[in-house]
Chains A and B, each alone.
Chain A
Amino acid sequence: MIAVIDYGAGNIFSVKNALDFLGLENKLTSAKNEIEAADAVILPGVGAFSYAMKMLEEKGLTEVLQKQAGEKPFLGICLGMQILFEKGYEFEETDGLGLIKGEVRKIILPGLSVPHMGWNRLVHRNDCALLSGLGSDGYVYFVHSYAAECEVGNISAYCEYGREITALVHDGGYVYGAQFHPEKSGETGLRILRNFAELITG
Protein backbone atom coordinates (compact mmCIF):
# COMPACT_ATOMS: atom_id res chain seq x y z
CA MET A 1 0.00 0.00 0.00
CA ILE A 2 1.21 3.49 -0.86
CA ALA A 3 0.46 6.11 1.78
CA VAL A 4 -0.47 9.44 0.17
CA ILE A 5 0.08 12.02 2.88
CA ASP A 6 -3.02 14.09 3.52
CA TYR A 7 -1.94 17.20 5.41
CA GLY A 8 -4.18 19.88 4.03
CA ALA A 9 -1.85 21.09 1.28
CA GLY A 10 -3.07 20.69 -2.23
CA ASN A 11 -5.08 18.51 -4.52
CA ILE A 12 -4.30 15.05 -3.22
CA PHE A 13 -7.25 13.57 -5.08
CA SER A 14 -5.59 13.79 -8.47
CA VAL A 15 -2.66 11.78 -7.11
CA LYS A 16 -5.11 9.24 -5.75
CA ASN A 17 -7.01 9.15 -9.06
CA ALA A 18 -3.81 8.38 -10.95
CA LEU A 19 -2.76 5.61 -8.52
CA ASP A 20 -6.27 4.11 -8.67
CA PHE A 21 -6.20 4.24 -12.47
CA LEU A 22 -2.88 2.34 -12.42
CA GLY A 23 -4.38 -0.24 -10.06
CA LEU A 24 -1.92 0.65 -7.28
CA GLU A 25 -3.28 0.17 -3.77
CA ASN A 26 -3.14 3.46 -1.91
CA LYS A 27 -4.58 5.38 0.98
CA LEU A 28 -4.91 9.08 1.79
CA THR A 29 -3.73 9.35 5.35
CA SER A 30 -2.13 11.45 8.05
CA ALA A 31 -2.07 8.61 10.61
CA LYS A 32 1.39 7.74 11.88
CA ASN A 33 0.70 3.99 12.14
CA GLU A 34 -0.64 3.82 8.57
CA ILE A 35 2.38 5.68 7.23
CA GLU A 36 4.70 3.31 9.10
CA ALA A 37 2.83 0.27 7.81
CA ALA A 38 2.84 1.48 4.18
CA ASP A 39 5.18 0.03 1.54
CA ALA A 40 5.90 3.47 0.10
CA VAL A 41 5.06 7.10 0.74
CA ILE A 42 3.95 9.87 -1.61
CA LEU A 43 4.10 13.42 -0.26
CA PRO A 44 2.05 15.73 -2.51
CA GLY A 45 1.55 19.44 -2.02
CA VAL A 46 0.46 22.69 -3.58
CA GLY A 47 0.90 26.03 -1.89
CA ALA A 48 3.65 27.66 0.12
CA PHE A 49 6.77 25.98 1.60
CA SER A 50 6.34 27.56 5.04
CA TYR A 51 2.65 26.64 5.22
CA ALA A 52 3.32 23.01 4.26
CA MET A 53 6.02 22.64 6.92
CA LYS A 54 3.73 24.21 9.50
CA MET A 55 0.94 21.76 8.61
CA LEU A 56 3.31 18.78 8.90
CA GLU A 57 4.49 20.05 12.29
CA GLU A 58 0.92 20.54 13.52
CA LYS A 59 -0.03 17.03 12.49
CA GLY A 60 3.11 15.69 14.17
CA LEU A 61 4.34 14.19 10.90
CA THR A 62 7.77 15.78 10.43
CA GLU A 63 9.81 13.17 12.29
CA VAL A 64 7.73 10.22 11.07
CA LEU A 65 8.33 11.24 7.47
CA GLN A 66 12.05 11.84 8.04
CA LYS A 67 12.36 8.34 9.49
CA GLN A 68 10.24 6.64 6.80
CA ALA A 69 12.31 8.27 4.07
CA GLY A 70 15.24 6.12 5.16
CA GLU A 71 13.23 2.91 5.12
CA LYS A 72 10.99 2.79 2.05
CA PRO A 73 10.44 4.40 -1.37
CA PHE A 74 9.45 8.01 -0.81
CA LEU A 75 8.28 10.44 -3.49
CA GLY A 76 7.67 14.15 -3.02
CA ILE A 77 5.56 15.86 -5.69
CA CYS A 78 5.69 19.60 -6.51
CA LEU A 79 5.71 21.39 -3.13
CA GLY A 80 6.15 17.91 -1.59
CA MET A 81 9.43 17.71 -3.53
CA GLN A 82 10.54 21.17 -2.45
CA ILE A 83 10.16 20.43 1.25
CA LEU A 84 12.50 17.42 0.89
CA PHE A 85 15.32 19.99 0.85
CA GLU A 86 17.02 21.75 3.74
CA LYS A 87 15.58 25.22 3.38
CA GLY A 88 12.93 27.21 1.54
CA TYR A 89 12.52 30.96 1.12
CA GLU A 90 8.83 31.34 0.26
CA PHE A 91 7.51 34.25 2.40
CA GLU A 92 10.11 33.45 5.08
CA GLU A 93 13.19 31.29 5.53
CA THR A 94 11.88 27.90 6.63
CA ASP A 95 13.60 24.60 7.41
CA GLY A 96 12.46 21.73 5.20
CA LEU A 97 12.66 18.01 5.93
CA GLY A 98 16.37 18.10 5.10
CA LEU A 99 16.34 14.77 3.25
CA ILE A 100 18.29 16.13 0.27
CA LYS A 101 21.00 18.76 0.42
CA GLY A 102 19.94 22.03 -1.13
CA GLU A 103 17.62 25.03 -0.99
CA VAL A 104 14.45 26.18 -2.72
CA ARG A 105 14.45 29.69 -4.11
CA LYS A 106 12.19 31.91 -6.22
CA ILE A 107 12.67 31.60 -9.97
CA ILE A 108 13.79 34.97 -11.32
CA LEU A 109 13.96 35.14 -15.10
CA PRO A 110 13.85 38.46 -16.89
CA GLY A 111 11.42 38.29 -19.79
CA LEU A 112 9.91 34.93 -18.87
CA SER A 113 6.70 34.55 -16.97
CA VAL A 114 6.68 33.03 -13.52
CA PRO A 115 5.01 30.72 -12.48
CA HIS A 116 6.72 28.33 -14.85
CA MET A 117 3.47 26.75 -15.95
CA GLY A 118 2.87 24.26 -18.71
CA TRP A 119 4.45 21.31 -20.49
CA ASN A 120 8.23 21.18 -20.57
CA ARG A 121 10.64 18.50 -21.75
CA LEU A 122 12.57 16.40 -19.25
CA VAL A 123 16.29 16.33 -19.99
CA HIS A 124 17.82 13.28 -18.33
CA ARG A 125 20.97 14.05 -16.34
CA ASN A 126 21.66 10.99 -14.18
CA ASP A 127 20.33 7.45 -14.40
CA CYS A 128 17.17 7.16 -12.35
CA ALA A 129 14.79 4.27 -11.77
CA LEU A 130 11.82 6.62 -12.21
CA LEU A 131 12.89 7.40 -15.79
CA SER A 132 13.05 3.75 -16.76
CA GLY A 133 11.49 3.15 -20.18
CA LEU A 134 11.21 6.86 -20.96
CA GLY A 135 12.96 8.37 -23.96
CA SER A 136 14.42 11.83 -24.11
CA ASP A 137 11.26 13.37 -25.57
CA GLY A 138 9.02 13.10 -22.52
CA TYR A 139 7.09 16.24 -21.62
CA VAL A 140 5.67 16.75 -18.14
CA TYR A 141 3.39 19.36 -16.60
CA PHE A 142 4.84 22.04 -14.29
CA VAL A 143 3.22 24.71 -12.13
CA HIS A 144 5.66 26.43 -9.78
CA SER A 145 7.39 29.70 -8.93
CA TYR A 146 10.21 28.29 -6.76
CA ALA A 147 12.87 25.80 -7.77
CA ALA A 148 15.38 23.59 -6.00
CA GLU A 149 19.06 24.48 -6.14
CA CYS A 150 21.04 21.38 -5.31
CA GLU A 151 24.04 19.25 -6.20
CA VAL A 152 24.23 17.93 -9.76
CA GLY A 153 24.61 14.41 -8.41
CA ASN A 154 21.07 14.55 -7.02
CA ILE A 155 19.48 15.78 -10.25
CA SER A 156 17.96 12.98 -12.32
CA ALA A 157 16.39 15.35 -14.83
CA TYR A 158 15.98 19.05 -15.47
CA CYS A 159 14.10 21.18 -17.97
CA GLU A 160 15.06 24.32 -19.87
CA TYR A 161 13.23 27.51 -18.98
CA GLY A 162 15.63 30.39 -19.41
CA ARG A 163 18.01 28.28 -17.33
CA GLU A 164 18.12 24.72 -16.07
CA ILE A 165 15.21 24.07 -13.71
CA THR A 166 15.53 21.10 -11.37
CA ALA A 167 12.77 18.68 -12.34
CA LEU A 168 13.46 15.24 -10.83
CA VAL A 169 15.75 14.51 -7.89
CA HIS A 170 17.05 11.43 -6.09
CA ASP A 171 19.06 11.22 -2.86
CA GLY A 172 20.78 8.00 -3.96
CA GLY A 173 18.65 6.01 -1.53
CA TYR A 174 14.88 5.82 -1.15
CA VAL A 175 14.02 9.47 -1.62
CA TYR A 176 12.78 10.89 -4.95
CA GLY A 177 11.20 14.21 -5.79
CA ALA A 178 9.32 15.49 -8.86
CA GLN A 179 8.89 19.24 -9.29
CA PHE A 180 6.29 18.55 -11.99
CA HIS A 181 2.94 16.82 -11.53
CA PRO A 182 3.26 13.20 -12.72
CA GLU A 183 -0.47 12.80 -12.02
CA LYS A 184 -1.19 15.51 -14.63
CA SER A 185 1.50 14.57 -17.14
CA GLY A 186 -0.33 12.08 -19.35
CA GLU A 187 1.37 8.80 -20.27
CA THR A 188 4.84 10.01 -19.25
CA GLY A 189 3.63 10.92 -15.77
CA LEU A 190 1.77 7.66 -15.30
CA ARG A 191 4.92 5.77 -16.30
CA ILE A 192 6.93 7.64 -13.66
CA LEU A 193 4.35 6.74 -11.00
CA ARG A 194 4.38 3.10 -12.14
CA ASN A 195 8.20 3.10 -12.02
CA PHE A 196 8.02 4.45 -8.47
CA ALA A 197 5.59 1.71 -7.42
CA GLU A 198 7.98 -0.87 -8.88
CA LEU A 199 10.59 0.18 -6.31
CA ILE A 200 8.43 -1.53 -3.70
CA THR A 201 10.01 -4.87 -2.98
CA GLY A 202 7.73 -7.70 -2.05
Chain B
Amino acid sequence: MLAKRIIPCLDVKDGRVVKGINFVGIKEIGDPVEFAAEYDRQGADEIVFLDINASHEGRGTMLDVVKRTAEKVFVPLTVGGGIRTVEDIRDTLRAGADKVSINSAAVKNPGLIKEAAALFGSQCVVLAADAKKTPGGHYTVVINGGRIDTGIELTGWVKKAEELGAGEILLTSMDTDGIKNGFDIDMLKAVCKAVKIPVVASGGAGRLEHFAEVFMKTNCSAALAASLFHYRELTVEEIKEDCRSKGIEIR
Protein backbone atom coordinates (compact mmCIF):
# COMPACT_ATOMS: atom_id res chain seq x y z
CA MET B 1 0.00 0.00 0.00
CA LEU B 2 0.99 3.62 -0.32
CA ALA B 3 3.15 4.98 2.46
CA LYS B 4 1.81 7.94 4.43
CA ARG B 5 3.77 11.03 3.44
CA ILE B 6 5.49 13.60 5.63
CA ILE B 7 5.75 16.92 3.80
CA PRO B 8 7.77 19.92 4.93
CA CYS B 9 6.42 23.17 3.56
CA LEU B 10 8.58 26.19 2.88
CA ASP B 11 6.89 29.58 2.89
CA VAL B 12 8.89 31.66 0.46
CA LYS B 13 8.89 35.43 0.03
CA ASP B 14 11.16 37.09 -2.54
CA GLY B 15 13.27 33.95 -2.78
CA ARG B 16 13.79 33.57 1.00
CA VAL B 17 12.13 31.21 3.47
CA VAL B 18 9.79 32.81 5.99
CA LYS B 19 7.23 31.46 8.41
CA GLY B 20 4.33 33.35 9.82
CA ILE B 21 2.10 32.66 12.76
CA ASN B 22 -1.55 32.79 11.73
CA PHE B 23 -0.34 34.48 8.55
CA VAL B 24 0.94 37.58 10.36
CA GLY B 25 4.30 38.45 11.88
CA ILE B 26 6.34 37.06 8.99
CA LYS B 27 9.96 36.39 9.81
CA GLU B 28 12.70 35.61 7.30
CA ILE B 29 14.85 32.56 8.02
CA GLY B 30 16.87 31.33 5.04
CA ASP B 31 17.59 29.93 1.58
CA PRO B 32 14.79 27.65 0.29
CA VAL B 33 17.05 25.43 -1.81
CA GLU B 34 19.23 24.62 1.21
CA PHE B 35 16.18 23.90 3.34
CA ALA B 36 14.73 21.61 0.66
CA ALA B 37 18.00 19.69 0.36
CA GLU B 38 18.16 19.27 4.15
CA TYR B 39 14.56 18.01 4.28
CA ASP B 40 15.35 15.55 1.48
CA ARG B 41 18.27 14.22 3.55
CA GLN B 42 15.91 13.82 6.51
CA GLY B 43 13.56 11.68 4.40
CA ALA B 44 10.87 14.15 3.30
CA ASP B 45 8.44 12.43 0.92
CA GLU B 46 7.63 15.60 -0.94
CA ILE B 47 8.46 19.27 -0.58
CA VAL B 48 6.01 22.14 -0.87
CA PHE B 49 7.02 25.68 -1.74
CA LEU B 50 4.44 28.31 -1.00
CA ASP B 51 5.05 31.72 -2.53
CA ILE B 52 3.39 33.88 0.08
CA ASN B 53 3.82 37.22 -1.62
CA ALA B 54 3.43 36.24 -5.22
CA SER B 55 3.52 39.52 -7.06
CA HIS B 56 3.93 39.38 -10.80
CA GLU B 57 7.59 40.49 -10.49
CA GLY B 58 8.25 37.93 -7.78
CA ARG B 59 7.27 34.95 -9.93
CA GLY B 60 10.61 34.75 -11.71
CA THR B 61 12.42 34.52 -8.38
CA MET B 62 10.22 31.62 -7.32
CA LEU B 63 10.73 29.78 -10.62
CA ASP B 64 14.48 30.11 -10.12
CA VAL B 65 14.16 28.59 -6.64
CA VAL B 66 12.15 25.69 -8.10
CA LYS B 67 14.66 25.15 -10.89
CA ARG B 68 17.65 25.12 -8.55
CA THR B 69 15.86 22.77 -6.15
CA ALA B 70 14.93 20.34 -8.94
CA GLU B 71 18.62 20.03 -9.80
CA LYS B 72 19.51 18.55 -6.44
CA VAL B 73 16.37 17.23 -4.77
CA PHE B 74 14.86 14.06 -6.23
CA VAL B 75 11.50 13.80 -4.53
CA PRO B 76 8.26 15.39 -5.80
CA LEU B 77 8.03 19.18 -5.55
CA THR B 78 4.75 21.04 -5.20
CA VAL B 79 4.57 24.77 -5.74
CA GLY B 80 1.74 27.07 -4.76
CA GLY B 81 0.99 30.71 -4.14
CA GLY B 82 -0.12 33.24 -6.69
CA ILE B 83 -0.86 30.71 -9.42
CA ARG B 84 -3.65 32.31 -11.41
CA THR B 85 -3.46 31.11 -15.00
CA VAL B 86 -2.67 28.09 -17.15
CA GLU B 87 0.53 29.90 -18.18
CA ASP B 88 1.59 30.21 -14.52
CA ILE B 89 1.05 26.46 -14.16
CA ARG B 90 2.97 25.65 -17.33
CA ASP B 91 5.93 27.83 -16.26
CA THR B 92 5.99 26.27 -12.81
CA LEU B 93 5.92 22.69 -14.12
CA ARG B 94 8.60 23.54 -16.68
CA ALA B 95 10.82 24.92 -13.95
CA GLY B 96 10.75 21.46 -12.37
CA ALA B 97 7.67 21.31 -10.14
CA ASP B 98 5.71 18.04 -10.21
CA LYS B 99 2.49 19.57 -8.93
CA VAL B 100 1.03 23.01 -8.51
CA SER B 101 -1.38 24.00 -5.80
CA ILE B 102 -4.14 26.45 -6.60
CA ASN B 103 -5.99 28.29 -3.86
CA SER B 104 -7.68 31.69 -4.29
CA ALA B 105 -7.57 31.55 -8.08
CA ALA B 106 -9.64 28.35 -8.07
CA VAL B 107 -12.28 29.96 -5.86
CA LYS B 108 -12.50 32.93 -8.20
CA ASN B 109 -12.35 30.76 -11.34
CA PRO B 110 -13.13 27.05 -10.75
CA GLY B 111 -12.70 26.49 -14.50
CA LEU B 112 -8.94 26.82 -13.94
CA ILE B 113 -8.91 23.40 -12.23
CA LYS B 114 -10.65 21.79 -15.17
CA GLU B 115 -8.45 23.47 -17.73
CA ALA B 116 -5.25 22.59 -15.85
CA ALA B 117 -6.30 18.97 -15.36
CA ALA B 118 -7.13 18.59 -19.05
CA LEU B 119 -3.83 20.12 -20.16
CA PHE B 120 -1.38 18.71 -17.62
CA GLY B 121 -3.23 15.84 -15.92
CA SER B 122 -5.02 15.64 -12.58
CA GLN B 123 -1.89 14.26 -10.92
CA CYS B 124 -0.29 17.70 -10.95
CA VAL B 125 -3.31 19.75 -9.85
CA VAL B 126 -3.62 20.23 -6.11
CA LEU B 127 -6.52 22.21 -4.72
CA ALA B 128 -5.32 24.10 -1.66
CA ALA B 129 -8.20 25.07 0.59
CA ASP B 130 -7.92 27.20 3.73
CA ALA B 131 -10.94 26.91 5.96
CA LYS B 132 -12.36 27.72 9.36
CA LYS B 133 -15.29 26.77 11.50
CA THR B 134 -18.22 29.15 11.63
CA PRO B 135 -20.07 29.87 14.87
CA GLY B 136 -22.85 27.74 13.36
CA GLY B 137 -20.56 24.71 13.25
CA HIS B 138 -19.97 24.62 9.48
CA TYR B 139 -16.66 24.96 7.72
CA THR B 140 -16.20 27.79 5.24
CA VAL B 141 -13.44 28.51 2.75
CA VAL B 142 -11.28 31.57 3.33
CA ILE B 143 -8.93 33.15 0.81
CA ASN B 144 -6.20 35.78 0.49
CA GLY B 145 -4.23 34.32 3.36
CA GLY B 146 -7.27 34.14 5.60
CA ARG B 147 -8.33 37.75 5.12
CA ILE B 148 -11.53 37.01 3.19
CA ASP B 149 -14.26 34.57 4.23
CA THR B 150 -15.89 33.46 0.99
CA GLY B 151 -18.86 31.93 2.78
CA ILE B 152 -18.43 28.85 0.56
CA GLU B 153 -19.13 25.61 2.41
CA LEU B 154 -15.93 23.52 2.53
CA THR B 155 -17.08 19.96 1.82
CA GLY B 156 -19.16 21.05 -1.17
CA TRP B 157 -16.17 22.98 -2.50
CA VAL B 158 -13.70 20.08 -2.29
CA LYS B 159 -16.24 17.75 -3.93
CA LYS B 160 -16.64 20.21 -6.76
CA ALA B 161 -12.85 20.53 -7.11
CA GLU B 162 -12.58 16.74 -7.33
CA GLU B 163 -15.24 16.65 -10.05
CA LEU B 164 -13.44 19.39 -11.96
CA GLY B 165 -10.27 17.27 -11.97
CA ALA B 166 -8.17 18.16 -8.93
CA GLY B 167 -5.87 15.25 -8.05
CA GLU B 168 -5.34 16.09 -4.39
CA ILE B 169 -6.62 18.37 -1.64
CA LEU B 170 -4.25 20.31 0.60
CA LEU B 171 -6.40 21.38 3.53
CA THR B 172 -5.23 24.01 5.98
CA SER B 173 -7.33 24.73 9.03
CA MET B 174 -7.06 28.40 9.90
CA ASP B 175 -8.36 27.55 13.35
CA THR B 176 -5.39 25.33 14.21
CA ASP B 177 -2.65 26.81 11.98
CA GLY B 178 0.23 28.20 14.02
CA ILE B 179 -1.35 27.08 17.30
CA LYS B 180 0.71 23.86 17.50
CA ASN B 181 -1.94 21.92 19.35
CA GLY B 182 -2.50 19.25 16.69
CA PHE B 183 -4.17 18.98 13.29
CA ASP B 184 -7.85 19.81 12.93
CA ILE B 185 -9.08 16.20 13.09
CA ASP B 186 -12.78 17.01 12.71
CA MET B 187 -12.32 19.23 9.68
CA LEU B 188 -9.98 16.69 8.05
CA LYS B 189 -12.44 13.87 8.68
CA ALA B 190 -15.21 15.85 7.03
CA VAL B 191 -13.08 16.48 3.94
CA CYS B 192 -11.75 12.88 3.73
CA LYS B 193 -15.35 11.70 3.81
CA ALA B 194 -16.35 14.08 1.01
CA VAL B 195 -13.68 13.08 -1.56
CA LYS B 196 -11.86 10.01 -2.86
CA ILE B 197 -8.69 11.83 -3.89
CA PRO B 198 -5.81 12.09 -1.38
CA VAL B 199 -6.08 14.70 1.37
CA VAL B 200 -3.01 16.39 2.84
CA ALA B 201 -3.42 17.62 6.42
CA SER B 202 -2.01 21.04 7.20
CA GLY B 203 -2.09 23.46 10.12
CA GLY B 204 -1.53 22.76 13.76
CA ALA B 205 1.32 20.26 14.06
CA GLY B 206 3.31 21.07 17.17
CA ARG B 207 4.52 17.81 18.62
CA LEU B 208 5.81 14.45 17.40
CA GLU B 209 2.63 12.56 18.19
CA HIS B 210 0.41 14.90 16.19
CA PHE B 211 1.50 13.20 12.95
CA ALA B 212 0.72 9.63 14.03
CA GLU B 213 -2.53 10.96 15.48
CA VAL B 214 -3.73 12.44 12.19
CA PHE B 215 -2.95 9.18 10.37
CA MET B 216 -4.69 7.05 12.98
CA LYS B 217 -7.79 9.22 13.34
CA THR B 218 -8.35 10.28 9.71
CA ASN B 219 -7.85 8.88 6.20
CA CYS B 220 -5.37 11.62 5.28
CA SER B 221 -2.61 10.48 2.91
CA ALA B 222 -0.05 13.00 4.06
CA ALA B 223 0.70 15.53 6.76
CA LEU B 224 2.38 18.86 6.20
CA ALA B 225 4.16 21.24 8.53
CA ALA B 226 6.39 24.27 8.18
CA SER B 227 7.69 25.99 11.31
CA LEU B 228 8.36 22.75 13.20
CA PHE B 229 10.90 21.83 10.58
CA HIS B 230 12.24 25.33 10.00
CA TYR B 231 13.10 25.90 13.59
CA ARG B 232 14.44 22.33 13.89
CA GLU B 233 12.04 21.50 16.68
CA LEU B 234 11.53 18.13 14.99
CA THR B 235 13.12 16.33 12.06
CA VAL B 236 11.27 14.36 9.41
CA GLU B 237 13.21 11.30 10.59
CA GLU B 238 11.94 11.60 14.17
CA ILE B 239 8.35 11.89 12.99
CA LYS B 240 8.70 8.89 10.69
CA GLU B 241 10.23 6.77 13.44
CA ASP B 242 7.35 7.62 15.76
CA CYS B 243 4.77 6.75 13.05
CA ARG B 244 6.57 3.49 12.21
CA SER B 245 6.63 2.45 15.86
CA LYS B 246 2.84 2.90 15.87
CA GLY B 247 2.40 0.59 12.88
CA ILE B 248 1.83 3.26 10.23
CA GLU B 249 3.30 2.50 6.80
CA ILE B 250 6.05 5.03 6.17
CA ARG B 251 8.78 5.14 3.54
CB atoms of B198 and A113 under 8 A apart:
yes
CB atoms of B221 and A21 under 8 A apart:
no
Query: Is A186 close to B, CB under 8 A?
Result: yes
Q: Which of A142-182 contact B (CB under 8 A)?
A: 143, 160-161
User: Residues of A contacting B71 with CB < 8 Å?
Assistant: 17, 20-21
CB atoms of B167 and A119 under 8 A apart:
no
CB atoms of B221 and A190 under 8 A apart:
no
Whole-angstrom distance between the alpha carbons of A121 and B3 in the complex?
A: 8
Q: How large is the interface on B (under 10, 10 to 19, 20 to 34, 35 or more residues)?
A: 20 to 34
Whole-angstrom distance between the alpha carbons of A189 and B74 in the complex?
A: 8
Contact with A along B116-138 (1 / 0, CB 8 A): 00000111000000000000000
CB atoms of A161 and B70 under 8 A apart:
no
Query: Is B98 close to A, CB under 8 A?
Result: yes
Whole-angstrom distance between the alpha carbons of A183 and B75 in the complex?
A: 8
Whole-angstrom distance between the alpha carbons of A13 and B71 in the complex?
A: 9
Name B96's contact: one of A17, A116, A189, A190 (CB within 8 Å). A17
CB atoms of B74 and A118 under 8 A apart:
no
Name A161's contact: one of B1, B40, B196 (CB within 8 Å). B1
Whole-angstrom distance between the alpha carbons of A186 and B75 in the complex?
A: 6
Distance from A9 Cβ to chain B, minimum over Cβ atoms (Å): 11
CB atoms of B1 and A186 under 8 A apart:
no
Which residue of chain A is the closest to B123 with respect to CB atoms? A143
User: Residues of B contacting A113 with CB < 8 Å?
Assistant: 196-198
Whole-angstrom distance between the alpha carbons of A118 and B199 in the complex?
A: 12
User: Residues of B contacting A61 with CB < 8 Å?
Assistant: none
CB atoms of B74 and A18 under 8 A apart:
yes
Query: Is A89 close to B, CB under 8 A?
Result: no
Query: Is A14 close to B, CB under 8 A?
Result: yes
Query: Is A31 close to B, CB under 8 A?
Result: no
User: Residues of B contacting A21 with CB < 8 Å?
Assistant: 71-72, 74
Distance from B16 Cβ to chain A, minimum over Cβ atoms (Å): 23
Query: Is A120 close to B, CB under 8 A?
Result: yes
User: Residues of A contacting B94 with CB < 8 Å?
Assistant: 13
Whole-angstrom distance between the alpha carbons of A79 and B233 in the complex?
A: 40
Whole-angstrom distance between the alpha carbons of A18 and B168 in the complex?
A: 26
Distance from A189 Cβ to chain B, minimum over Cβ atoms (Å): 6
Which residue of chain B is the closest to A143 with respect to CB atoms? B123
Most chain A C-beta atoms within 10 Å of own C-beta, residue among B2, B5, B71: B2
Query: Is B156 close to A, CB under 8 A?
Result: no
Name B121's contact: one of A47, A116, A141 (CB within 8 Å). A47
CB atoms of B96 and A118 under 8 A apart:
no
CB atoms of A118 and B2 under 8 A apart:
yes
Q: Which of B48-78 contact A (CB under 8 A)?
A: 70-72, 74-76
Query: Is A28 close to B, CB under 8 A?
Result: no
Contact with A along B163-202 (1 / 0, CB 8 A): 0000110000000000000000000000000001110000
CB atoms of A120 and B74 under 8 A apart:
no
- Decide yes or no: A184 and B2 within 8 Å by CB, A14-B70, A20-B71, A119-B45 being known contacts: no
User: Residues of B contacting A184 with CB < 8 Å?
Assistant: 74-76, 98
CB atoms of A115 and B167 under 8 A apart:
yes
Query: Is B113 close to A, CB under 8 A?
Result: no
* 7 additional A-B residue pairs with CB within 8 Å, beyond A11-B98, A117-B168, A121-B3: A11-B96, A119-B3, A119-B251, A120-B3, A141-B76, A186-B75, A189-B74
Residues in B lying within 8 Å of A, measured CB to CB: 1-3, 5, 40, 45, 70-72, 74-76, 93-94, 96, 98, 121-123, 167-168, 196-198, 221, 251
20 inter-chain pairs at a CB distance below 8 angstroms, sorted by A residue, are A11-B98, A14-B70, A14-B96, A14-B98, A17-B74, A17-B96, A20-B71, A21-B72, A21-B74, A115-B167, A118-B45, A119-B45, A120-B3, A161-B2, A184-B74, A184-B76, A184-B98, A185-B74, A189-B74, A190-B74
Residues in A lying within 8 Å of B, measured CB to CB: 11, 13-14, 17-18, 20-21, 46-47, 113, 115-121, 139, 141, 143, 160-161, 183-186, 189-190
Nearest 8 pairs of A and B residues by beta carbon: A139-B251, A118-B2, A119-B3, A119-B251, A143-B123, A113-B196, A17-B71, A186-B75
